[in-house]
Chain A
Amino acid sequence: GQQVMQIPQYQHVQEGEDFTTYCNSSTTLSNIQWYKQRPGGHPVFLIQLVKSGEVKKQKRLTFQFGEAKKNSSLHITATQTTDVGTYFCAGPGGAQKLVFGQGTRLTINP
């Protein structure tokens, strides 16, 4: 079935450094979603990208959808301790399913 691969699995940064996580699919995606899960919490929706080459920003977060709609990235500029958590991408898995990548766990040294 449809798989969405996400890298890296873990990332540790100093506060103020940038952070990027990547999501790749072997097939074209109709859309891709990004979620954030705080430690001990549940995933919370951040954004959905639909168009080829789309770029969306939320304050220090920049989301991109590749031209071929097979990859996506989330970039955080100047990380803050509030950015700690696991970031997931998710894409359609066929037949109304939503499948998630493995997630990137971000830890930050203040």
Chain B
Amino acid sequence: NAGVTQTPKFQVLKTGQSMTLQCAQDMNHNSMYWYRQDPGMGLRLIYYSASEGTTDKGEVPNGYNVSRLNKREFSLRLESAAPSQTSVYFCASSVGGYTEAFFGQGTRLTVV
């Protein structure tokens, strides 16, 4: 009964370091998303994947890359972290693009 699992839950990076946020869902969903949440900015879409093998940019893709490894997994990579990327990152999945989205617990990332 895991739903959407994100790792890690917390991370502190130094400017310029790289890291990958992992996301996996066990609901056989087609669509997966990465959002970032900043105070007063709501949830902004970074990248999404409408189906296995496809990825597309969202509202704020700069500085990020993604990989839809298989139907279950959708990872988000920061190649060279910047303080502006300090945020809470949420992975989500849904059956289709416009259906109910299920969210992971979030990753709180601080870049110093």
Contact = CB atoms under 8 A, between A and B. Distances in A.
Given A31-B98, A95-B50, A95-B56, A102 B45 contact: no
Contacts of A93: 45
Interface stretch (A12-20, A38-46, A65-73, A76-84): A38-46
Interface string A34-70: 0100000011110010000000000000000000000
A81 to B, nearest CB: 22
B48 interface: yes
Interface of A: 1, 6, 9, 30-31, 33, 35, 42-45, 48, 88, 90, 92-93, 95-103
Contacts of A35: 101
Contacts, number: 67
Contact of B104 (A1, A9, A42, A98): A42
Interface in B28-43: 31, 33, 35, 40-43
B90 A96 contact: no
B83 interface: no
Q: Chain B, interface size: which category?
A: 20 to 34
Given A42-B103, A42-B105, A97 B97 contact: yes
Given A42-B104, A44-B103, A48-B100, A97 B48 contact: yes
12 contacts: A33-B100, A35-B101, A42-B105, A45-B101, A48-B100, A90-B43, A90-B101, A92-B97, A92-B98, A96-B50, A96-B98, A98-B45
B40 A102 contact: yes
Contact of B101 (A30, A95, A98, A101): A98
Contacts of A95: 50, 56, 97
Given A42-B104, A95-B56, A103 B42 contact: yes
